């Protein structure tokens, strides 16, 4: 295996564009000039290393980011990232979501549940040559399968023990592949969470909005067995000892200060074609928003007045609300800024560059081929959208996964489909276990009925004959008739029972095919149709895997000719980004300042959800009981060194702040998955946590607009102030805090 080089060579002395870029760690060493620009004291070389502070203190949670903040495995992340762990320990009688939670001793800490994990990236290796070798003229599904086989082989060789989780990730849409080796900690416990009235202050009304005043932070702890090995929950386990942990700077940051963030951003689309933006804005996002709304309405009706069900579905509702508002923001952003037009211009500039040199002609052919494939893929996505929803009953999904596991288990492990290998058994079991706290048969049936009604209303072009036949569906069915059909599956199945579900793991194909369980029988009946659709998806993915990398080569070559560095689209892997603390022009004549205050929180509080901050906290604010966390100024007194060299230095007239900063803004390049990312100052000390983006910034997944793109962070000074008021002195003492 060759160690990391490749795309790092693309970086040039011309530097990045402002603060744009979600950089792979190994790329950072080429960006010292950017670190100098924003005033970093840490060297780019140090930040590029997985083995050094601060990156060796940054962890992933599987969809969120976090960081170690003590030598005893204490981890800080967002409140909404640990929401599942909070909900997992909540009941109507002891609702930790509403009241919050604090473990004063380690013995009081609560298990985060079967799916809560901490992932520590220890090695990243370029394996491109090993993945793309000998592919020759393979295309379509054959190419997809060949790549998948090579990736599985690399993963198997990497996972030398149960402690580790490895994966081979595609970068630049299949142009490069990297092998990631992560230590996976399975015993993760809830330590401290503020009440929902603070951790979710403003709720969905304030989501993606600014100014914000939310305490979006929670502490969890990683545990291992007495030998230091990853292990499932046990009272005998001990706190994990990280290689490093972040120092906390209680003074925070000021406007103009440089910051760096590290975390696991989920997905961006900055190298997609203009036609893909058009499809997203005109069809995909509106369709998703419509289904999100219907889903939320159905859950609200099914759980109304039933506290136990509201608790079970709280995490689901929160997640859907977040996704929906983001999609709505994207649609509004596409209208406010002509991103489609910007991408068309960029695309045409690329094509013009290609046309200037006959040696680049293949790039033009690639663009045409890619455009054709994308059009076909979009048509397929339209056909499959409602069908996928129609098959999304939780129990049908469980039955289908269990049956597929039985079939795959008859093959040698190396030949099994990814997700169904021996390494995946515990994950499958965890998913089945999670239904215990996040599922109700009555709610599930109502959701399924709504999805099928939507599916039937779309016309014959989205219908799947095998699915309709297996359920006995016809176009003219009423809601009552659909309900009668679906009710038989729930009454005729035992999969809603926890033990019954788990007992199906490891059973034979014959056991499934002879079962009288209604959902098991349905899963068996749908298997061939599902596999046919899967093969079609793999065929398209294989074709794209051949063409997109060639198009990315054109983009990279074009940008190199302009002196521009290129970073890969986000893909859930560890990235580093940087920026400065700053406000932004939100609208004509409206400038939003970079810090919010406790007074702003009190002014917004109404005593009614979602602005129902606890009365004792409001009293503390009104009494100006700020301890040593109040800041007289949140602006730097002197300009930065580079500004002085250019314009001279003059003492500024500062506006007094005289409060505790609650949330703040920076120009760092973030997206979903960066939730919980540590925000660090020039020395790499923790000064906040990333948790959101402004509404105007949502379109940054497609296009980064330096002028208005801002990430929103919870300020460490607010965190410490709040912890003091909630008696979390034990955690404050455990962390290393400097002033």
List the catalytic residues. Answer: 80, 216, 675
Tell me how far apart the terminal alpha carbons of the chain are, to the nearest angstrom: 45
The single residue listed with the structure tokens 């976090």 is: 66
Distance CA 678, CA 201 (A): 21
What are the CB-based long-range contacts (under 8 Å, 24+) for 645-652?
none
Phi and psi at residue 288, in whole multiples of 5°? -65, -45
Distance CA 238, CA 544 (A): 47
- In angstroms, the Cα distances linking 388 to 128, 291, 383, 385, 524 are 33, 12, 9, 5, 17
Distance CA 519, CA 708 (A): 50
- In angstroms, the Cα distances linking 586 to 211, 701, 707, 708 are 11, 18, 10, 7
Instruction: From 21, 4, 25, select the one nearest 564 (Cα to Cα).
Output: 21
Distance CA 119, CA 121 (A): 6
Distance CA 215, CA 199 (A): 4
Residues 6+ apart with CB under 8 A from 173: 271, 544, 548, 549, 551, 552, 569
Q: Is 337 helix (H, G, I), strand (E, B) or coil?
A: coil
User: Strands 101-102 and 187-193: what pairing?
Assistant: antiparallel
Instruction: Decide if 95 contacts 311 (C-beta within 8 A).
Output: yes
What are the CB-based long-range contacts (under 8 Å, 24+) for 169-172?
169/571, 169/572, 169/573, 170/571, 171/7, 171/24, 171/568, 171/571, 171/573, 172/7, 172/271, 172/549, 172/552, 172/556, 172/566, 172/568, 172/569
Our CA dihedral for 372, 378, 379, 385, rounded to 10 degrees, sits at 160
Q: Is 220 helix (H, G, I), strand (E, B) or coil?
A: strand
- In angstroms, the Cα distances linking 303 to 55, 289, 306, 440, 446 are 43, 21, 5, 10, 11
Residues 6+ apart with CB under 8 A from 560: 10, 12, 566
Distance CA 522, CA 528 (A): 11
Distance CA 182, CA 162 (A): 11
The single residue listed with the structure tokens 């709304």 is: 293
Burial of 553 (0-12, 13-18, 19+ CB in 10 A): middle
Q: Does residue 211 have a cis peptide bond before it, meaning omega lies within 30 degrees of 0?
A: yes
Helices 361-390 and 518-561, packing angle to 10 deg: 160
Residues 6+ apart with CB under 8 A from 735: 69, 70, 74, 248
Q: Which residues of 290-301 are buried (b: 16+ CB within 10 A; e: fewer)?
A: ebbebbbebbee
Instruction: From 669, 715, 737, select the one nearest 253 (Cα to Cα).
Output: 715
């Amino acid at each position: 295996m060759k160690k990391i080089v490749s795309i790092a060579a693309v970086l040039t002395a011309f530097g990045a564009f402002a603060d744009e870029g979600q950089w792979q760690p190994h790329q950072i060493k080429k960006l010292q000039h950017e670190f100098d620009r924003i005033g970093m004291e840490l060297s780019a070389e140090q930040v590029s290393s997985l083995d050094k502070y601060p990156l060796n203190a940054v962890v992933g949670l599987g969809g969120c980011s976090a960081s170690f903040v003590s030598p005893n495995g204490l981890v800080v992340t967002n409140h909404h990232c640990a929401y599942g762990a909070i909900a997992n320990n909540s009941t109507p009688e002891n609702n930790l979501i509403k009241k919050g939670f604090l473990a004063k001793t380690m013995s009081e800490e609560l298990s985060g549940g079967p799916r809560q994990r901490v992932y520590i990236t220890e090695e990243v290796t370029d394996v491109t040559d090993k993945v793309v070798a000998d592919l020759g003229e393979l295309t379509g599904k054959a190419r997809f399968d060949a790549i998948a086989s090579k990736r599985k082989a690399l993963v198997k060789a990497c996972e030398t023990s149960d402690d580790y989780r490895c994966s081979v990730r595609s970068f630049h849409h299949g142009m490069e592949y990297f092998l990631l080796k992560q230590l996976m900690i399975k015993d993760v416990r809830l330590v401290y969470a503020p009440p929902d009235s603070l951790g979710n202050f403003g709720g969905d009304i304030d989501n993606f909005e600014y100014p914000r005043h939310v305490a979006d932070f929670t502490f969890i702890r990683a545990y291992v067995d007495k030998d230091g090995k990853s292990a499932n929950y046990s009272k005998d386990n001990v706190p994990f000892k990280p290689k490093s942990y972040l120092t906390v700077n209680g003074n925070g940051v000021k406007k103009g200060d440089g910051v760096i963030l590290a975390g696991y951003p989920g997905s961006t689309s900055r190298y997609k074609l203009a036609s893909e933006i058009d499809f997203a804005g005109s069809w995909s996002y509106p369709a998703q928003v419509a289904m999100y709304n219907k889903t939320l309405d159905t859950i609200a009706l099914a759980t109304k007045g039933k506290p136990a069900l509201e608790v079970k579905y709280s995490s689901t509702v929160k997640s859907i609300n977040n996704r929906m508002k983001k999609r709505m923001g994207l649609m509004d952003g596409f209208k406010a800024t002509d991103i489609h037009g910007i991408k068309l211009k960029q695309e045409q500039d690329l094509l013009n560059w290609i046309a200037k040199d006959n040696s680049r002609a293949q790039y033009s052919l690639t663009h045409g081929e890619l455009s054709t494939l994308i059009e076909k893929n979009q048509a397929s996505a339209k056909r499959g959208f409602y069908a996928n929803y129609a098959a999304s009953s939780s129990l049908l999904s469980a039955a289908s996964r269990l049956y597929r596991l039985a079939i795959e288990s008859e093959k040698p492990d190396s030949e099994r489909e990814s997700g169904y290998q021996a390494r995946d058994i515990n994950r499958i079991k965890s998913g089945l276990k999670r239904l215990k706290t996040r599922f109700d048969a009555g709610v599930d049936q109502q959701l399924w009925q709504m999805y099928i009604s939507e599916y039937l209303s779309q016309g014959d072009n989205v219908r799947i004959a095998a699915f309709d036949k297996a359920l006995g569906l016809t176009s003219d069915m009423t809601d009552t008739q659909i309900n009668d059909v679906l009710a038989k599956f729930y009454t005729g199945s035992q999969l809603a029972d926890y033990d019954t579900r788990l007992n199906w793991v490891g059973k034979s194909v014959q056991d499934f095919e002879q079962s009288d369980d209604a959902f098991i029988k349905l899963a068996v009946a749908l298997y061939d149709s599902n596999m046919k659709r899967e093969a079609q998806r793999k065929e398209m993915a294989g074709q794209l895997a051949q063409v997109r990398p060639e198009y990315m080569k054109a983009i990279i070559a074009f940008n190199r000719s302009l002196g521009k560095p290129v970073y890969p689209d986000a893909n859930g892997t560890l990235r580093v980004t940087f920026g400065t603390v700053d406000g932004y022009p939100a609208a004509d004549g409206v400038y939003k300042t970079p810090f919010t205050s406790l007074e702003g929180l009190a002014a917004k509080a109404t005593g009614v959800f979602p602005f129902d901050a606890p009365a004792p906290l409001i009293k503390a604010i009104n009494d100006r009981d700020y301890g040593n966390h109040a800041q007289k100024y949140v602006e730097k007194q002197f300009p930065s060194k580079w500004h002085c060299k250019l314009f001279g230095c003059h003492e500024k007239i500062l506006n007094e702040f005289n409060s505790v900063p609650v949330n703040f803004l920076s120009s760092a390049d973030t997206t979903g998955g960066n939730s919980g990312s540590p925000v660090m100052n020039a020395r790499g000390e923790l000064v906040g946590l990333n948790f959101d983006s402004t509404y105007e910034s949502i379109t940054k997944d497609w296009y980064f607009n330096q002028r208005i793109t801002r990430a929103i962070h919870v300020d460490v000074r607010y965190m410490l102030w709040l912890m003091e008021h909630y008696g979390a002195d034990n955690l404050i003492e455990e962390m290393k805090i400097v002033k």
